[in-house]
Amino acid sequence: MKILIMNGSPHRGNTWRLTQAVKEILAGWDASIEFSEIHLADLALPFCTGCSNCFRKGHRHCPHHEKVQVIMDLIEANDAVIFSVSCFQGHVTGILKNLTDHLAFLIHRPRYFHKKALIISTAGGVSAASTTRALAATLAGWGFNKSYQLPIIAFSWNTYKPEQKDLQRAEKVARRFYQDLKAQRLYAPSTGVLIPFNLFQALCITAGDDPMFPTEDHHFWPKYYGMQYAPGIPLPLHKRLLGMMIYSIGKRLAGKYIISYKK
């Protein structure tokens, strides 16, 4: 089992201390786990410029592709990702938001369908939970199968030491995360994930491409033709029927709309 720990904070403070405690808990259960780390602050990823090359031509045309690809490859090479991200004004940190901006194309062309995440955040007061929820919503759009959340109120300014009650809560969440990975359990997508998957697919396959402003989306979706979601992911009958209905609506809309990135 391989787990990537991504430090999405500009320093190694309260949240990183809690993340290290979770790592020790997991290692105590299973010594065979292979951990790797990446610190976004060390990567010095430039700000996303909003050029839309990732949407229009493909993510390899991003002006910062070499640095972004390192992160994408690490996610792909691991079974799961532990995101360690401080709460900055009720949301993720700037350097992590910058990464999600670079990977925004994944909302249109999702992958990582078999990956799981554990999102850890601390706050001196409130809003750690809003931070983990925000990132969990983003990861769902990228295709992540399941995201566990561990928001903790630290009541300190970089002097936090996980208390026993925090460690007990961390162990409870980490156990569910670990058991899912060990069993290779996969979950059906939520309705909020199923809708764009089938809608984008229908629009891209049936509407064709914009000759003046083509998009990589039209090269991506044909491989999922006839599927309501990614192969290997369980889909109960009611969600399969919902996917078919959304696809049908998308086909009708394709006569009036086309996915384009005209600027």
211 within some domain: yes
> Which pLDDT belongs to residue 64?
97
Rounded to the nearest 5°, which phi and psi values hold at 135? Answer: -70, -35
pLDDT(127) > 70? yes
Q: Report, as an integer, the average pLDDT of 108-123.
A: 96
pLDDT at 172: 97
User: Which of 165, 183, 201 lies at the terminal end of a domain, its last residue?
Assistant: 183
Domain with residue 118: its CATH number is 3.40.50.360
Residue 213: the pLDDT is 61
**Percent residues over pLDDT 90 in the chain:** 76
- C-alpha 63/C-alpha 117 separation (Å) is 28
**pLDDT tens digits, residue range 151-177?**
998 877 777 888 899 999 999 999 999
Does residue 251 surpass a pLDDT of 90? no
Q: What does the block give as tokens for 212?
A: 């003046």
When divided into structural domains, the chain yields a total of 2
pLDDT in tens, 175-226: 999 999 999 999 999 999 999 999 989 988 765 666 556 688 888 999 999 8
Asked if residue 258 belongs to a domain, the reply is no
pLDDT category, 252, cuts 50, 70, 90?
Answer: confident
Indicate if 92 and 217 belong to the same structural domain. Answer: no
pTM equals: 0.93
Asked if 148 and 213 sit in the same domain, the reply is: no
**Residue span of the structural domain in which 216 resides:** 191-253
Tell me: the pLDDT tens digits for 65-101?
Answer: 999 999 999 999 999 999 999 988 889 999 999 999 9
Same domain, 111 and 199: no
The predicted structure's pLDDT at residue 28:
97
Three state DSSP letters for the chain = CEEEEEECCCCCCHHHHHHHHHHHHHHHHCCCCEEEEEEHHHHCCCCCCCCCHHHHCCHHHCCCHHHHHHHHHHHHHCCEEEEECCCECCECCHHHHHHHHHCHHHHCCCCCCCCEEEEEEEECCCCHHHHHHHHHHHHHHHCCCEEEEEEEECCCCCCCCCCHHHHHHHHHHHHHHHHHHHHCCCCCCCHHHHHHHHHHHHHHHHCCCCCCCCCCHHHHHHHHCCCCCCCCCCCCHHHHHHHHHHHHHHHHHCCCCCCCCCC
